[in-house]
Amino acid sequence: MANDYASVMSRKGEIMKKSVGIDFAKYESGSIAFDYEKMMSETGYTLEEIQKIQGAVHVGNTPIIELRNLTALARKYAKKGYGARIFVKDEASNPSGSFKARRAAVSVYHAKKHGYKGVISATSGNYGAAVASQAAMLGLKCIVVQECYDSKGRGQPEIIEKARKCEALGAEVVQLSVGPELFYKFLLLLEETGYFNASLYTPFSIAGIETLGAEISAQFRAKFGRDPDMVVATNAGGGNVTGTARGLIKAGAKTPVVGASVSLAGLHMASDGQFNKKSFTTGHTGFGIPFSSWPDRSDVPRSAARPLRYMERYVTVAQGSVFYLTEALASLEGLEKGPAGNTSLAAAFALAQDLPEDKMILVQETEYTGAGKHVQPQLSFAKSNGIEVRFGDPKDEVPGKNLILPANPGLIKTADVDMNHIRASLIKTAVKTMLPADKTPTEKDIAFLAEETRANEAFVKEVLKAVE
């Protein structure tokens, strides 16, 4: 078969079906709507079975830690009687050092069970290490395809650190430059090897995170007799929010889930010139906004990560605020963790100040840190790319131009994302992408879009009027 770009891309549906073992077409309605819950049941594993699968490979049952010193600091800047207790779920204690071990455990188990000889993941982040770790435990080969360098051959310290981690765990790492070649090479490798597609966005991956939400509820009920009042989750591709919220729901919890991303407004993630102008490789709006407004831009036909269905609220924080909280966590709490989980920690630090002291707010993940993930190499890399690094007010930060560390912790704030704008964007994209020009959305489509956007049908119909 021809292996040029156009030929490989024309076969992507066939390649995906074979490498995931899911016929996504059977969930489609022929219009916009598709059966999401039926697709999620495709894993064939109950929550209890997944807990056993993960437990057998040392994944899950991670501790919850109260951050008493950061709570006390937040209360210094809150009005009297306010400043909720801040907790973190220490997911860095998983074998590969992040919550993504939960996703990988289910995918790799399923691949092994169905006779695949290896697994492939396309990621620049912690997920590659998680897949490599689980593949090593189960005796499978592993390839990680990583978007790493710009056209000048410069790679971010954090991305290079993750590549070292993947290689240390036995994976072959294929490093590419920024652009469409990532997906092309990923498809080509799936086809050539016949390996399982351990995508971040399959039902297996999202179901693996559901145990995290269920654990949160069980642990809080055992210790405090109730669920936390708020859970803050770093939002990138949407799987973290989706899986955690679904797990909480399955546990009977009604805790609101707030998504948090680093604001990289104005930067384009696929731009060669702007790729290294950011100081975060994940957990930022470059992923969070587009994947929230259209989940099916992922590497499977229908993504199981659908954050708008589950986010109660979506906030952003500045890059400098996350770096500041990373150091504060280490110096005040004795916990040295990587930047992705500290994105939601920075948001939680600000959000806690708006909640009464008797409330409890949980940051639902931490991640491992390493040489390239530390604050100093990231700031040094930013300076080498012409980014001004200084102390001041984070509200003055302009991504790609400067990085402002807060002059004091009282300046750490969140900004709310306009959820209705994202909802409207999803609805408009669905119509444009899924419907022929001569067709209009059915009542089933409207009901589906209301579920997709956590809105009501009246809102969907108003947006549809603007599309006509």
- pLDDT, one tens digit per residue, over 208-236 is 999 999 999 999 999 999 999 999 999 99
The neighbouring-strand residues paired with 348 are none
The neighbouring-strand residues paired with 313 are 258
Under a CB-based contact definition with an 8 Å cutoff, are residues 88 and 363 in contact? Answer: yes
Any residues with CB less than 8 A from the CB of 51 and at least 6 apart, and which?
Answer: 60, 211, 214
Q: 19-53+98-203 and 58-96+206-416: same fold?
A: yes
Extents of the domains making up the chain:
19-53+98-203, 58-96+206-416, 419-467
In eight-state DSSP terms, residue 304 is S
**What per-residue confidence (pLDDT) applies to 298?**
87
In eight-state DSSP terms, residue 306 is -
Q: Which residues of 186-204 are buried (b: 16+ CB within 10 A; e: fewer)?
A: bbbbbbebebbbbbbbbbb
323 closest CA partner among 380, 274, 396, 275: 380
What SS3 state is found at 148?
strand
Handedness of CA 87, 88, 89, 95 (dihedral sign): negative
Q: What percent of the chain has pLDDT over 70?
A: 100
pTM score of the predicted model: 0.96
Place of tokens 């993940």: 365
Place of tokens 């007010």: 393
Judge residue 269's burial from the number of C-beta atoms within 10 Å of its C-beta, 0-12 exposed, 13-18 middle, 19 or more buried. Answer: middle
Q: Tell me: domain 19-53+98-203, CATH 3.40.50.1100, correct?
A: yes
- Distance (Å, whole) CA 40 – CA 95: 26
Rounded to a whole number of angstroms, the distance between the first and last alpha carbons of the chain is 42
pLDDT of 177 higher than 90: no
For the ranges 50-54, 185-189, 390-394, 436-440, which has the lowest average pLDDT? 436-440
Q: What is the mean pLDDT of residues 113-142?
A: 95
Under a CB-based contact definition with an 8 Å cutoff, are residues 304 and 245 in contact? Answer: no
Place of tokens 């010139």: 273
Containing 158, the helix (H) or strand (E) segment is helix 157-168
Any residues with CB less than 8 A from the CB of 307 and at least 6 apart, and which?
Answer: 235, 238, 241, 242, 259, 291, 292, 295
State which fold the 58-96+206-416 domain adopts. Rossmann fold (3.40.50)
Q: ∠ at Cα 436 (430, 442), nearest 5°?
A: 65
Q: ∠ at Cα 285 (279, 287), nearest 5°?
A: 95
Confidence of residue 359 (pLDDT cuts 50, 70, 90): very high
Q: What length does the chain have? A: 468
Confidence of residue 201 (pLDDT cuts 50, 70, 90): very high
**What per-residue confidence (pLDDT) applies to 464?**
95
Confidence of residue 125 (pLDDT cuts 50, 70, 90): confident
| Paired sense of beta strands 257-262 and 85-89, if any | unpaired
| Paired sense of beta strands 141-149 and 172-177, if any | parallel
Judge residue 175's burial from the number of C-beta atoms within 10 Å of its C-beta, 0-12 exposed, 13-18 middle, 19 or more buried. Answer: middle
**What per-residue confidence (pLDDT) applies to 354?**
98
**What per-residue confidence (pLDDT) applies to 113?**
97
| Paired sense of beta strands 85-89 and 64-66, if any | antiparallel
